[in-house]
Amino acid sequence: MSISPPTVRVEPLESAFAEQASHWAQRLGLPLEGEAQFALQLGHAGLQLQELAPDAPGPVRVDFVEGAAAHRRQFGGGSGQMIAKAVGIQPGVRPRVLDATAGLGRDAFVLATLGCEVRLFERQPLVAALLEDGLARAAADAEVAAIVARMQLRQGNAIELMSGWDGEPPQVIYLDPMFPHRDKSALVKKEMRLFRPFVGDDDDAPALLAAALALASHRVVVKRPRKAPAVQGAAPGYSLDGKSSRYDIYPKKKLA
């Protein structure tokens, strides 16, 4: 039995944003009024997605300038971070990376902060809209404009986009598929609670991995919960384990 996708309306938080809200509604094929379970809201802070249930958590938006992204940019450990080691960052080496499951762009922003050129694919239109808005606002900020200039977003199905790739392939492809949360007692992050009705689980992760392995010139990196099984298909060459996450690395050629 198929489950109907959640209903969403677009709404300006102030009248000054009515025209922009109308633009987003038209572009995403969403109504500007009526009953809905979620609202894509536009205001001074940018674009945000808000669940409309009485006990819903606060809105989710993409912010590369302040908050968690700014803290990690300043105090996150630089090239000593596990994600940096996983994609092969080393002295004099900053690989070209494709983040094929971009989500809210946090991992891609870390890699761009460290000097990598990063292409981002995101297939869910609402998530891609939030990410596009966050990148646009960051591009207007003097401190992070140079970082997000290294990030290029494209909305679409990553498997199709990788299969039809034209030009020099990415050296590294980074995947972070949505993982089925079977532990009912686990506290799922606010973003995951919000996006799971839209995104679901990445049941096509094996096909995503196969497409990535066919395209990447040097390596594929898959982020997984630490105790989760590897994605079905080719076995990783090795893994890097953290406290809650693990990076499975599929090496093809030495980065230099």
In a domain, 56, yes or no: no
Q: What is the CATH number of the domain that holds 25?
A: 3.40.1630
For residues 110-116, average pLDDT: 95
In a domain, 168, yes or no: yes
Contacts of 56 (CB under 8 A, 6+ apart): 50
Same domain? 14 vs 74:
no
Same domain? 172 vs 73:
yes
In a domain, 58, yes or no: no
Nearest to 107 by CA among 61, 53, 175, 158: 175
In a domain, 82, yes or no: yes
Contact 209, 230 (CB under 8 A): no
In a domain, 141, yes or no: yes
In a domain, 2, yes or no: no
Domain that holds residue 235: 67-251
Contact 226, 179 (CB under 8 A): no
Nearest to 221 by CA among 177, 159, 179, 163: 177
The angle that helices 125-139 and 190-199 make with each other, rounded to 10 degrees, is 130
For 42-60, the pLDDT digits (tens) are 999 999 999 999 988 889 9
- Is the confidence at residue 182, as pLDDT, over 50? no
Same domain? 155 vs 32:
no
Cα(40)–Cα(51) distance, rounded to whole angstroms? 9
Tally Cβ neighbours within 10 Å of residue 194: 23
Same domain? 138 vs 24:
no
For 185-243, the pLDDT digits (tens) are 333 466 777 777 777 666 889 999 999 999 999 999 999 998 999 999 999 999 999 88
Q: What is the CATH number of the domain that holds 96?
A: 3.40.50.150
- Is the confidence at residue 86, as pLDDT, over 90? yes
For 144-179, the pLDDT digits (tens) are 999 999 999 999 999 999 999 999 999 999 999 876
Q: What percent of the chain has pLDDT over 70?
A: 90
Contact 17, 43 (CB under 8 A): yes
**Helix, strand, or coil (residue 67):** helix
Alpha carbon distance, N-terminus to C-terminus of the chain: 50
Structure tokens at 193: 């609670």
Same domain? 234 vs 181:
yes
For 6-19, the pLDDT digits (tens) are 999 999 999 999 99
| 202 assigned to a ligand binding site | no
Tell me, what's the pLDDT at 76?
Answer: 61
In a domain, 37, yes or no: yes
Q: How many domains, in total, are found in the chain?
A: 2
Cα(131)–Cα(69) distance, rounded to whole angstroms? 13
- Is the confidence at residue 1, as pLDDT, over 50? no
Same domain? 42 vs 84:
no
Same domain? 96 vs 189:
yes
Contacts of 112 (CB under 8 A, 6+ apart): 118, 147, 148, 150, 151
Contact 151, 108 (CB under 8 A): yes
- Is the confidence at residue 2, as pLDDT, over 60? no
Same domain? 76 vs 12:
no
Contact 138, 47 (CB under 8 A): no
Mean pLDDT (the chain, rounded): 90
| 9 assigned to a ligand binding site | no
Tell me, what's the pLDDT at 77?
Answer: 64
Residue type for 190, please?
K
Same domain? 71 vs 47:
no
- Is the confidence at residue 73, as pLDDT, over 90? no
Tell me, what's the pLDDT at 178?
Answer: 77
Same domain? 168 vs 109:
yes
Cα(174)–Cα(216) distance, rounded to whole angstroms? 10
Same domain? 117 vs 213:
yes
| 35 assigned to a ligand binding site | no
Same domain? 32 vs 122:
no
In a domain, 23, yes or no: yes
| 122 assigned to a ligand binding site | yes
